[in-house]
Every structure is written in structure tokens, then in C-alpha cells.
Amino acid sequence: MEANKSLLEQEGKVKNWIIFISILIPVAVAVLLFMPQKVDVGAEWVYFLPHLNAIINSATTLALILGLIFVKNKMYSYHGATMSVAFGLGAIFLVSYVIYHGSAESTSFGGEGWIRPVYYFLLITHIILAAVALFPILFAYYYGYTNQREKHRKVVKYAYPIWLYVSVTGVVVYLMISPYYVS
């Protein structure tokens, strides 16, 4: 009885941390994007980060697809490993993204005609879903890590398609804007 109470208390604390992180990170990113003065890191290397982020997003997409294949084939240890890789790549991406947007001005899209609304549709949906994605992703990862499969399955119904969409559109948006980057 005491063990169950302790487990519930621990899970409550984890849930509070997940909620806190899921709110803090999008707010911090928004502040970085819109702050009037960028942080001077004294180097040009930050202009490589969008290219690195596209590679990270591509690798994340592959890990997510492999994770789905593995779970469909009941290869749960491989599924867990690939999802941990995707989760780790997401953390690396977030650090790289924050460094870049905290130190470099945003690039404007220069495309014209029909491609312009396509780009902005992808960008806006990518941003909105990226802002809300962390919440279900963290819960899905926590439930998977703690082997709470039923809760994991319920959350993954939302987390997986959002995460996959964000990782794919991140690459597509990068490919569309990359000709306009100033290096």
C-alpha cells in the first residue's frame, strides 16, 4: 500500500515537471525569437546550425519511422532504442535551435507566387505543432520508459503524428528557405 502511494507521488511530480517544461521551452523559444537584441557569440559558426538542424530533423524522422516499424513487429527493445535516439536528437536540436535563434537574425522567405502561401502554411503549422508537441512527447516517452504501455499507447496516438509532422516539415521548411540564408 505504501509503495503504491509513493509511486503515485513520484508520478505526480514527474507530471508536474513535464507540464512545467512543456510550457517553459516554447515561452523561452518565443522570447529568443522576438528579443530585440541578439546575443553576440563572436563567431560565424552559428550560421551552420540551420543546416545541422535539418540533418538532425532528418535523422529524427528516420528514427521515428524505424520506431513505428519496430513496434508494429513487436520488437519492443529496438522500438525503445530508436525512440530514445529520436528523443536525444530532439534535445540536441532544441539546444542548437536556441543557440541559433538567440544569436542570429531570422531569415525572410524570398519565394514568390504559389510557393509563398505553401511555405507559410507549412511554417505556421510547423511552429504551432512544435510548440504543443513537447507535452505529449514527454508523456509518451515517460510512459514508455516506465513500461506503462496502456497509457503510452493512448498518448502516442497524438504524440507520434505530431512529432513526425514537425520533424518532416522542419526539413521541408529548411529546404524552402535555405536559398535565402546569408552566411
d(CA 162, CA 129): 7
The tens digit of pLDDT for each residue in 110-164 reads: 999 999 999 999 999 999 999 999 999 999 999 999 999 999 999 999 999 999 9
Give the CA distances from residue 149 to residues 5, 18, 118, in Å, rounded to whole numbers and listed in that order: 20, 18, 38
The more confident residue out of 137 and 1 is 137
Provide the H-helix boundaries in the chain. Answer: 2-34, 49-72, 76-103, 115-145, 149-177
Closest CA to 170 of 86, 78, 56: 56
Domains and CATH numbers, the chain: 2-180 (1.20.120)
d(CA 6, CA 154): 24
Average pLDDT, the chain: 90
